[in-house]
A and B are shown apart, each in its own frame.
Chain A
Amino acid sequence: MAATPADASSSSSEAVVGGEKSNKMITLISSDGESFEATEEAAKMSVTIKHMIEDGCADDGIPLPNVPAKILSMVIEYCNKHAADADDTNKHVADPADADEDDDNNNNNASAGEKEDLKSFDASLVAVDQATLFDIILAANFLSIKGLLDLACQKVADDIKDKSVEEVREIFKIENDFTKEEEEAVRKENAWAFNE
């Protein structure tokens, strides 16, 4: 189910994933005022949203002042894809209270083909520019979506793994604030890491 901007008044009888869950649609409002619809199931992948729903604050739509529309639509895409997958074994992936060693986006009952599909979906979701990736990380952090946070953080780690100090600064747009002496000292201490 694609996440498309929709009016609050649009019909809410979208297809349901997993017959036992409610059909209820949740409206999420981005920081720039766009509304998005998602199934309750998908929305609950965000622990933050899950708590708001449980506290009864979701009825008029949930405003997310920290998340711009472009990012919110990607987040909802992730949740839709993974909610369908995680739900079968009743494992709530996103809730830290339920988290155990083999959580995250892997449903043990998923076929190998479905797992591959999920993996390639995840990979393409985070194959974006650094600025967008950082925005996804911040949104996943704010919304408490562990799987997405892990995915995006791992992507950043993979990107900087073999980079030089200067390249890392460039990626993160960081200014070198060491004095010449401080920089020499810290490089000397870690000199072995720079040798091939």
Chain B
Amino acid sequence: MATLTDDILADIISRLPYKSTCCCKCVSKRWRDLIYHRHHRKKMPQSVVGFFYEGYNECRSPRKARYFTNLSREYYPLVDPSLSFLPNCGSLDILDACNGLLLCRCWKAADPLKLDYVVCNPTTEKWVSVPATEWPSKVGVARLGFDPAVTSHFHVFEFIDEEAWGVPEDEQDDDFYRRIHTLAIYSSKAGVWKYQTVKQGPFAIPKHSVSSFLNGVLNLAADYNLIVAVDVEGDNWWLVPIPERPDYVDDTNGIFTSQGRVYFADSDRSKLSIWILEDYATGKWTLKHNVSHL
């Protein structure tokens, strides 16, 4: 039987879904080497799984540096963490990532005081800027909501606290430092920001709060053992206390989502507990796993 050339074989394999490509790697040495070969790799479907992280060290230059690591076995493709494909960006912070898109805050090269949000796909290098509000420089908590399975449109959430909003100091909440005053939501479909005064709570969200976007709902870890959830319209809110446990520790950052559900992971010295949220409205959690550290 005729033998197909490498180029033709690579063409055929590149038409397969990623899962099938992985099976093809096991067919023979020639196939494995073909799929991994630089020349053909670009045609092959790739899923990038990795993360960006930033380090800060007073004693080196640059003090602040950002890296990208690809978690797949091949360590490829690598994404340039400077995101230099974004034009006019003097310097930028990556604020959030959601299902393949990044939410960044960019200081304009031309005008260091001007700030913009940019949403981009670091692997395709496509980007859009989100019209600036007054808040990007003051707001600690901005998050991205994007679910490609539902729509190609995204939402940006800004949680504006009392201080950023300009509430006089003596009127600010004493118990909740930087209590969230207003929620602004930007819809890429509508192209506008919608503001609403937050009636729920009170609650405050730490700057680097863990968050997760699932089924059109943004879930965030808030102060005082609370999980705050809000949908993309801003119509539905849920404030869910984390599951009770004997050692009272203020740490909500164990929230994560998986397979369509919201989970909370809680660890003390002797064991790791995984809870699953049954229902936002009732705030009921069920203990799913209990793993002893010993």
- A and B, one complex? yes
**Which residue numbers of B lie inside 8 Å of A, CB to CB?**
1-2, 4-5, 8, 11-13, 15-17, 19-20, 22-32, 73
Contact A177 B16 (CB under 8 A): no
Q: For residue A175, which residues in chain B have a CB less than 8 angstroms away from its CB?
A: 28
Q: Looking at the complex, which one of B1, B17, B19, B29 makes contact with A177 (CB distance below 8 Å)?
A: B29
* Contact (A186, B32) CB under 8 Å given A168-B24, A193-B23: yes
Contact B25 A168 (CB under 8 A): no
Contact B2 A134 (CB under 8 A): yes
Q: For residue A134, which residues in chain B have a CB less than 8 angstroms away from its CB?
A: 1-2, 4
Contact A156 B27 (CB under 8 A): no
Contact B28 A193 (CB under 8 A): no
> Closest approach, in angstroms, between the C-beta of A170 and any C-beta of chain B?
10
CB of A173 within 8 A of chain B? yes
Contact B28 A176 (CB under 8 A): yes
CB of A52 within 8 A of chain B? no
Q: Looking at the complex, which one of A138, A176, A190 makes contact with B25 (CB distance below 8 Å)?
A: A190
**How far is B4's CA from A176's CA once the two chains are assembled, in angstroms?**
17
Contact B27 A190 (CB under 8 A): no
* Contact (A164, B12) CB under 8 Å given A134-B2, A138-B4, A177-B28: no
Contact B4 A137 (CB under 8 A): yes
**How far is B19's CA from A192's CA once the two chains are assembled, in angstroms?**
8
CB of A180 within 8 A of chain B? no
Q: Looking at the complex, which one of A137, A153, A154, A186 makes contact with B26 (CB distance below 8 Å)?
A: A186
> Closest approach, in angstroms, between the C-beta of A134 and any C-beta of chain B?
5
> Closest approach, in angstroms, between the C-beta of B17 and any C-beta of chain A?
7
Contact A153 B27 (CB under 8 A): no
Q: For residue B30, which residues in chain A have a CB less than 8 angstroms away from its CB?
A: 174, 177
> Closest approach, in angstroms, between the C-beta of B36 and any C-beta of chain A?
10
> Closest approach, in angstroms, between the C-beta of A126 and any C-beta of chain B?
13
Contact A178 B16 (CB under 8 A): no
* Contact (A174, B1) CB under 8 Å given A141-B8, A161-B16, A162-B20: no
Contact A153 B12 (CB under 8 A): yes
Q: Which residue of B lies closest to A159 (CB)?
A: B12
Q: Looking at the complex, which one of A156, A177, A178 makes contact with B12 (CB distance below 8 Å)?
A: A156
CB of A24 within 8 A of chain B? no
> Closest approach, in angstroms, between the C-beta of A61 and any C-beta of chain B?
25
> Closest approach, in angstroms, between the C-beta of B258 and any C-beta of chain A?
15
* Contact (A164, B23) CB under 8 Å given A131-B1, A134-B1, A141-B5: yes
> Closest approach, in angstroms, between the C-beta of B22 and any C-beta of chain A?
3
Q: Looking at the complex, which one of B11, B23, B73 makes contact with A194 (CB distance below 8 Å)?
A: B23
CB of A2 within 8 A of chain B? no
Contact A154 B15 (CB under 8 A): yes
8 Å CB interface, A143-192 against B: 149, 153-154, 156-157, 160-165, 168-169, 172-178, 182-183, 186-187, 189-190, 192
Q: Looking at the complex, which one of B15, B16, B27 makes contact with A169 (CB distance below 8 Å)?
A: B27
Q: For residue A137, which residues in chain B have a CB less than 8 angstroms away from its CB?
A: 4, 8
Q: For residue A122, which residues in chain B have a CB less than 8 angstroms away from its CB?
A: none
CB of A130 within 8 A of chain B? yes
**How far is B4's CA from A149's CA once the two chains are assembled, in angstroms?**
12
Interface readout for A119-141 with B: 1 if CB under 8 Å, 0 if not?
Answer: 00000000000110011011001
**How far is B10's CA from A149's CA once the two chains are assembled, in angstroms?**
13
> Closest approach, in angstroms, between the C-beta of A132 and any C-beta of chain B?
10
Q: For residue A141, which residues in chain B have a CB less than 8 angstroms away from its CB?
A: 5, 8
* Contact (A157, B22) CB under 8 Å given A130-B1, A131-B2, A177-B28: no
Q: Looking at the complex, which one of A153, A162, A190 makes contact with B22 (CB distance below 8 Å)?
A: A190
> Closest approach, in angstroms, between the C-beta of B40 and any C-beta of chain A?
14
Contact A174 B22 (CB under 8 A): no
Contact A174 B23 (CB under 8 A): no
**How far is B10's CA from A153's CA once the two chains are assembled, in angstroms?**
10
CB-CB nearest 4 A-B residue pairs: A193-B22, A157-B15, A190-B22, A134-B2
Contact A193 B19 (CB under 8 A): yes
> Closest approach, in angstroms, between the C-beta of B26 and any C-beta of chain A?
5
> Closest approach, in angstroms, between the C-beta of A192 and any C-beta of chain B?
7
Contact B16 A189 (CB under 8 A): no
Contact B28 A174 (CB under 8 A): yes
Q: For residue A161, which residues in chain B have a CB less than 8 angstroms away from its CB?
A: 16-17, 20
**How far is B1's CA from A192's CA once the two chains are assembled, in angstroms?**
32
Cross-chain pairs A/B with CB under 8 angstroms, 18 sampled: A134-B4, A137-B8, A138-B4, A149-B8, A160-B20, A162-B20, A163-B23, A165-B26, A172-B27, A174-B31, A177-B29, A178-B26, A178-B29, A186-B25, A186-B32, A187-B26, A189-B25, A189-B73
